[in-house]
């Protein structure tokens, strides 16, 4: 059963949704991500985080929502080459300004953020710069891939909390829905590197690997999503050239709870 709604209670006022356009995901979220939410996309290496967030932006751009990808770990040029292998991508989206790729290391360089550890003032400057870019480009969808890499340069839990709260508030005020990629190790239950990130965000989508009859399969689970009821079941996903495909996880021949 979907969590978050009690029988007999009047229906809550529904928040406007950001329709992800990703197969199956909007159904398990009751129509999409509540608009303006900041959502952690957490998972260990190779679990499909970048693929999911790229598809989220492309599907949004196709729906007329301007989208911005802030890349920290991979050069945009390389990402674009990978993106071109997906059938749902049209280069026209970039030419029309619907989809923009920016490299965060270049932003650091422009701002003169060359220290290994950012000061509180520098963290403030980074928040204002990202929020300013989002406003200037009028984006409704933003991805930071990865939040973890930025946190490595903030280091202190208190400052990470401050960075995330201020960024989340600024982007919410602009009606921008944000996906923040969180790189985690294989240890079960872990959602972020510093352990504070998942408490601040409005939602957490967890990607992972699991074994079924000797095969390693990819799985996705919504751990939390403020502003909507949602399934907490685990879904099997496949990353294909036509995009992410999702199906309920069959456990011992039974359909997983959805």
Ligand X SMILES: Nc1ncnc2c1ncn2[C@@H]1O[C@H](COP(=O)(O)OP(=O)(O)OP(=O)(O)O)[C@@H](O)[C@H]1O
Residue count (the chain): 258
CA distance 14 to 159: 33
Can residue 213 be called a binding residue for ligand X (CB under 6 A)?
Answer: no
The dihedral built from the CA positions of residue 78, 83, 84 and 85, taken in this order, carries a sign that is positive
Shortest distance (Å) from residue 138 CB to ligand X: 27
Q: Using CA atoms, how far apart are residues 206 and 189, in angstroms rounded to an integer?
A: 10
39 or 170, CB closer to ligand X? 39
Residue closer to Mg ion by CB (options 3, 82) is: 82
Q: x/- site string to ligand X, residues 26 to 55, per CB under 6 A?
A: -----------------x-xxxxxxx----
Which residue, 46 or 132, has its beta carbon nearer to Mg ion?
46
Residue 45 touches which of ligand X, Mg ion, none (CB < 5 to 8 A by kind)?
ligand X
- Of 26-34, 58-66, 126-134, 235-243, the window that binds ligand X (rule: CB under 6 A) is 235-243
Instruction: Note the helical H segments in the chain.
Output: 25-28, 49-62, 76-83, 92-95, 104-111, 120-136, 147-154, 157-173, 197-200
CA distance 109 to 252: 53
Tokens of 229: 């009821």
Residues 50/55/60/64 CA torsion (nearest 10 deg): 120
- Work out how close the CB of 202 gets to ligand X at its nearest, in angstroms, rounded to a whole number: 21
Residues 130-189 that bind ligand X (CB under 6 A): 183
User: Is residue 86 involved in binding ligand X (CB under 6 A)?
Assistant: yes
Provide the token pair at 96: 């029309």
**Would you say 59 and 53 are in contact if contact means Cβ atoms under 8 Å apart?**
no
239 touches ligand X by CB under 6 A = yes
Q: Which stretch binds ligand X (CB under 6 A): 55-63, 82-90, 111-119, 245-253?
A: 82-90
Residue among 49 and 159 whose Cβ is closer to ligand X: 49
- Which of 51/177 has CB closer to Mg ion? 51
- Look up residue 179 and give its two tokens: 């996906």
Residue 50 engages Mg ion in binding (rule: CB under 5 A): yes
CA distances from 258 to 22, 43, 50, 216 (A): 17, 21, 25, 22
| 50 vs 231 by CB, closer to Mg ion | 50
Pairing state between β 243-248 and 234-240: antiparallel
Q: Is 203 in the site for ligand X (CB under 6 A)?
A: no
Note whether 241 binds ligand X by CB under 6 A: yes
The residues of the shown chain that bind ligand X, judged by CB under 6 A, are 43, 45-51, 82, 85-86, 183, 239-241
């Amino acid at each position: 059963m979907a969590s978050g709604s009690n029988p007999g209670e009047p229906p809550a006022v529904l928040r406007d949704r950001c329709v992800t356009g990703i197969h199956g995901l909007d159904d398990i979220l009751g129509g999409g991500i509540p608009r303006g939410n900041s959502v952690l996309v957490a998972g260990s290496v190779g679990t499909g985080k970048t693929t999911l967030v790229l598809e989220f932006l492309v599907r949004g751009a196709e729906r007329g929502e301007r989208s911005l990808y802030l890349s920290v770990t991979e050069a945009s040029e390389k990402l674009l080459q990978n993106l071109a292998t997906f059938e749902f991508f049209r280069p026209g989206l970039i030419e029309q300004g619907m989809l923009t790729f920016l490299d965060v290391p270049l932003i650091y360089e422009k701002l003169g953020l060359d220290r290994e550890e950012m000061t509180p003032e520098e963290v403030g400057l980074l928040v204002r710069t990202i929020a300013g870019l989002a406003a200037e480009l009028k984006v409704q969808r933003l991805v930071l891939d990865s939040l973890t890499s930025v946190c490595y340069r903030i280091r202190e839990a208190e400052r990470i909390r401050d960075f995330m709260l201020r960024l989340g508030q600024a982007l919410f005020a602009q009606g921008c829905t944000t996906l923040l990629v969180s790189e985690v190790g294989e240890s079960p239950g872990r959602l972020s590197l510093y352990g504070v990130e998942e408490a601040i965000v409005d939602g957490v989508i967890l990607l992972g690997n699991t074994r079924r009859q000797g095969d390693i399969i990819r799985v996705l689970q919504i751990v939390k999503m403020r502003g909507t009821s949602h399934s907490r079941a685990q879904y099997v996903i496949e990353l294909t050239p036509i995009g992410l495909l999702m199906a309920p996880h069959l456990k011992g021949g039974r359909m997983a709870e959805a």
